[in-house]
Each structure stands twice: as structure tokens, then as C-alpha cells.
Copies of this chain bind each other. A is one copy, B any other.
Amino acid sequence: MLDSAKLINIVLVETSHPGNIGSAARAMKNMGLSNLNLINPKKFPHGDARALSGNALDLLESAEVHQDIQSAIANSKYVLATSARERSIDWPIVEAREAAIKIKSMVEKGDEISILFGREDRGLTNEELQLANEHLIIPADTDYPVLNLAMSVQLVCYEIHMALKSDQNFSWQDYPEYTHQEIENLIKHFNETAFKLGLIDKSNPKQILTRMERMFRRLHPDKMEGNFLRGFLTKVNKLLK
């Protein structure tokens, strides 16, 4: 197991079926994760959990049981809540693969992170979803996107394993990534400048602006890149005056 993997908390919220806790523990251990946190599990400890945990009994034994999510995630610098796309409140969304890359960069800096998984039948409440920095989506078929809880844990842990084992080194990224708000500000600044430069068709400004917004979000600049672009735009605006 990688040291950085120890900074990753899997948090199961009010799981009904202890078998799912056991399957989730096995899924975690298969992918090199070990920190299992249970918020008000319906039945735990339980024989079904042990029966399905395979060789991951140690994870069940070391699992932390909490009464509320807040105490489980208190030390986390980045909290993800798994969510079905259609149920999601208006919140930043990342797909599992992208989330795993982010998690890798966080834990390699020594930051603790948590991933919340909701109840089998109802997922997480809106209040619980709002505890998260971002919502994690597992891409699935639109006809039947409802995954079993332990399967969701398996897929997320797999993506984390794939990211952690990848040789891709993000150490070149010596500056932190722009925050969501910083990207918003950059997009606004760019779009206003493009307007002043007469580059936007005023009868239909939406189309190109949406494309530029998408482009900047895809770029996800780091602080030095983003600040350089902001400086560039500031200079252009001075010329325009």
C-alpha cells in the first residue's frame, strides 16, 4: 500500500445492508485503500459484513464508526460526495477519473481527503451533499445508471488506484490550481475584453462565449498561468482606454 493511500477516507453514510460494508471493505483493500469510516451503520458489526469482506477483515476491524459526517471528515482538506447526476444540486461536478487525479495530487502533498457514499436507497441528502467541495459522478448508462453501493466504492477505489500507480508526475505543477471562483473571474475578464475588442457577435453572443467558457474550464489553469492571463487581459484593457 502506498503511504499516500492512507490519507484517503472512504465514508459510508447510514448503510442499511452490512453485506455492502463487507463488499466495500474488500473492494477498498483490493485497490490498496484502508481507511473505512461508517456513519450510523444500521447493523455493524455483523456476520454478513465479515462474510463478504474476503481477506479484508482487518479493514472492518479498524473501521471508525461515527455518529455524524462532520466528525469523520473534520481533518479533510477536500471532500467529495458521490451523487447521481440527475439528483445533484447545483454544485461543481467531477467524474470519477478526473476526481482520482485530483485526489492523487492532494494526497501527494500530504492532504487528507474524504469521499462520501450515501444510503443504498436514497443516497445522500442535500444537506450532506453540501458538505462536499465537489460532487463525484460515476459515468454510467443513462437507461439504468443506479449502481450498487459496493460497486460504486469499487469503481472509485479503482480509479484512485489507477491514478496513484500512474507514473504521471504532477510534480511539475509547482503552483496550486486555480479555484473555481478564480476560473470564474478569469472567464468573465476574458469575455468582457473580447466584447470590447469587437470580437463577439452582439446578436448572438452566447454561442462563442459558451465555447470560451468551456475552453477555460478544460484548461483548468494553475495559479501562475491564470495570473499571467489575468495580467495579459489587464494590459489589453489599459490599451483600450
Q: Which residues of A contact B (CB under 8 A)?
A: 1, 23, 26-27, 29-32, 54-56, 97, 138-141, 143-148, 150-151, 154-155, 158, 161-162, 165, 172, 193-194, 197-199, 208, 211-212, 214-215, 218-219, 221, 224-225, 228, 231-232, 235-236, 239-240
- The residue of chain B having its C-beta at the shortest distance from the C-beta of A147 within the complex is B30
Q: Across the interface, which residues of B come within 8 angstroms of A172, CB to CB?
A: 214
Q: Across the interface, which residues of B come within 8 angstroms of A211, CB to CB?
A: 224-225, 228
CA distance A214 to B141 in the complex (A): 35
Closest Cβ–Cβ distance, residue A144 to chain B (whole Å): 5
- Looking at chain A's contact residues, the main secondary structure is helix
CA distance A96 to B155 in the complex (A): 13
Contact assessment for A141 and B1 in the assembled complex, using a CB-CB cutoff below 8 Å: yes
Contact assessment for A232 and B141 in the assembled complex, using a CB-CB cutoff below 8 Å: no
CA distance A55 to B176 in the complex (A): 43
CA distance A53 to B172 in the complex (A): 42
**Among B54, B215, B231, contact of A221 (Cβ-Cβ < 8 Å):** B215
26 contacts between A and B (CB under 8 A): A26-B151, A27-B148, A29-B141, A29-B143, A30-B140, A30-B145, A30-B147, A30-B151, A31-B141, A54-B144, A55-B146, A56-B144, A139-B158, A140-B161, A141-B161, A147-B154, A155-B155, A158-B158, A194-B232, A197-B236, A199-B235, A211-B224, A212-B228, A215-B221, A236-B239, A239-B239
CA distance A36 to B154 in the complex (A): 21
Contact assessment for A212 and B225 in the assembled complex, using a CB-CB cutoff below 8 Å: yes
Closest Cβ–Cβ distance, residue A3 to chain B (whole Å): 13
CA distance A29 to B161 in the complex (A): 24
- The residue of chain B having its C-beta at the shortest distance from the C-beta of A150 within the complex is B151
